[in-house]
Every structure is written in C-alpha cells, then in structure tokens.
Amino acid sequence: MTYKIWFSIVFILSVLLLGILVPFFGVDPLLMDYSLMGTPQPPSWQHFFGTDELGRDILIRCIYGGRISLLVGFVAVSISITTGVLVGVLAGYIGGSFDEILMRFIDMLMALPTLFLILIIQVMLEPNIINVMVVIGVTSWMGVARIVRAEVLSLKQRDFIVAARSRGITEFKILFKHLLPHSLNPVIVAAMLGMGGAILTESVLSFLGLGVQPPHASWGNMLENSLGYLRDAPWMALIPGVLITLIVLSLNFLGDGLWLLLDPKAKDNHVRN
C-alpha cells in the first residue's frame, strides 16, 4: 500500500509545484510555432511531449492544464465539503422532521443524473472556469452530508456530549467545538475521492466544450483537440488522457491511504488481511 501512496503524493505534488512555478519559467502555453502549423510533431528533444496542430508545446500546455485541474478540484471540493458538513451536522443534530425533510431532499438530488444537470446548467450559463467549479461543487455535496449526518447521529448521544450539556455549554459550542472534530475523519477521505471526481467531471465538460474554453489549456479540451488527429498524432490524445487517469488514481490512492491512517477499524482489517 505504501508505494501507491508515495507515488500519489509525488505525482500530485509535482503537478502542483510545476503549476505554481510555471509562470516564472518564461514560457507561453499559447505560443505558436508557425513553421509547424497543421502538422503535429511527435515527442522530440525540443518538445518532450510533442506539439499540437497549431505548433504549441504540449508539455507546457499540460502543466497549465494540471494547474486548472487541481484548482477546479480544490475549489469544487471546498464548496461541496462546506455545504455537506453544514447540512449534515444540522440534520443530524436537530433531527426530527427537519432531518427527515433534508434527507428526502438529498435523496431527490441524488436521484438526478448529475452530469446532465451540470450540462444543462453550463449551457444556460456562460461556460467559464468559475461556473465549472461552482456547478461541480453544488452538485456533489450530498454524499458528504450523509456521512456527516450519520457520524453526528451516533456522536450526539455519547456521554461527553451529554456531559458538556450538563455543564450548561451552549448548543452552538457543543455542535462546532465538541461534535464536529469527531466527525471529520471520513470527511477528509471523502474530500480526496471527491477531488478525483471533480477533476474527472471538469475533463468531461471541457471535452464536450462546456468547460474551460480554448485557447486556455485544460486536459479535457486538449483531448477534444486531439480528436481530429487520432490517427496521425496519437500522442496528442494519449498524454492528457494518461495524465487525467494518473491524477484521479493518485487522489483515490491518497483517499484510501488516509482512510487506513485515520480509521482504527480499517487498520485492524488491513493488518489481518
């Protein structure tokens, strides 16, 4: 298990660091080499990942695309975690019909085909990167809300919560100081998995032309670009495709690893197996 986690950490960190540092390299992802226009070049010493149909360097575009992917993943997950934790905590803590109504509402949202919902919203709104992040965030908080609610339900009858109440501590403080930290472990894991999902959704949207708009690079729209050249320049599709797979896989491995690290029951099973 550990080599997977180390691989994940190294991969994610390198995408992140390259993404942060690339503006200081003095390279331009939009720089076109007119002599290469129309004929994508295969990987060479000059262009490690080759060039695309407009003579742009694919490596540089991939680094810029990775920046976008991680940013979308991070912001979308922040939105979904915040919403999910808030809804889950309130539903679990207040309980009763309030909980019932919220949970049925979540059931309803979960029954909707999310991708089509996102597509419709993106068509109606202007498809830019901020909309992509917000739309992914607000359509993916339901799972987190359910996890947190279940945790809070089991925590709120525990002795130390009743004891805190018996000392006259306010409900607000009990909720956010005494209850919330105990329910965060599964949330951290869900955040990692959710980030992988968000990056995948962003790629799909960009691939369909409803996400990050050209000429800005994203792994998804690089894939879309490559469609016309699949036979002549397979590297144009292969490179961003592999990168999407690797980043999603890394985030999932990291989520699994954190789960093993944070959940004592999971560790027992792992040792026994």
Q: Which residues bind another protein (CB under 8 A)?
A: 95-96, 157-160, 162-171, 173, 177-178, 181-182
Q: Of 61 and 178, which has the nearer Cβ to another protein?
A: 178
Work out how close the CB of 257 gets to another protein at its nearest, in angstroms, rounded to a whole number. 22
Q: Of 54 and 155, which has the nearer Cβ to another protein?
A: 155
Q: Of 18 and 184, which has the nearer Cβ to another protein?
A: 184
Work out how close the CB of 177 gets to another protein at its nearest, in angstroms, rounded to a whole number. 8
For 264, 266, 273, the CA distances from 269, given in Å and listed in that order, are 9, 5, 6
Nearest Cα to Cα of residue 42 among 238, 203, 244: 238
For 106, 138, 151, 155, the CA distances from 91, given in Å and listed in that order, are 11, 18, 11, 13
Work out how close the CB of 157 gets to another protein at its nearest, in angstroms, rounded to a whole number. 7
Work out how close the CB of 211 gets to another protein at its nearest, in angstroms, rounded to a whole number. 40
Q: Of 103 and 118, which has the nearer Cβ to another protein?
A: 103
Work out how close the CB of 99 gets to another protein at its nearest, in angstroms, rounded to a whole number. 11
Residue 262: which residues within 8 A CB-CB, separation 6 or more? 185, 188, 189
State the CB neighbour count (10 A cutoff) for residue 204.
17
Q: Of 173 and 270, which has the nearer Cβ to another protein?
A: 173
DSSP string covering 228-257, please? GGTTT-THHHHHHHHHHHHHHHHHHHHHHH
User: At 51, phi and psi to the nearest 5?
Assistant: -125, 165
DSSP string covering 130-183, please? HHHHHHHHHTS-HHHHHHHHHHHHHHTTSHHHHHHHHTT--HHHIIIIIIGGGG
List 57's β-bridge partners, or say none.
Answer: 51
- Expressed in angstroms, the distance from the first to the final Cα of the chain is 12
Work out how close the CB of 254 gets to another protein at its nearest, in angstroms, rounded to a whole number. 24
Q: Of 47 and 178, which has the nearer Cβ to another protein?
A: 178
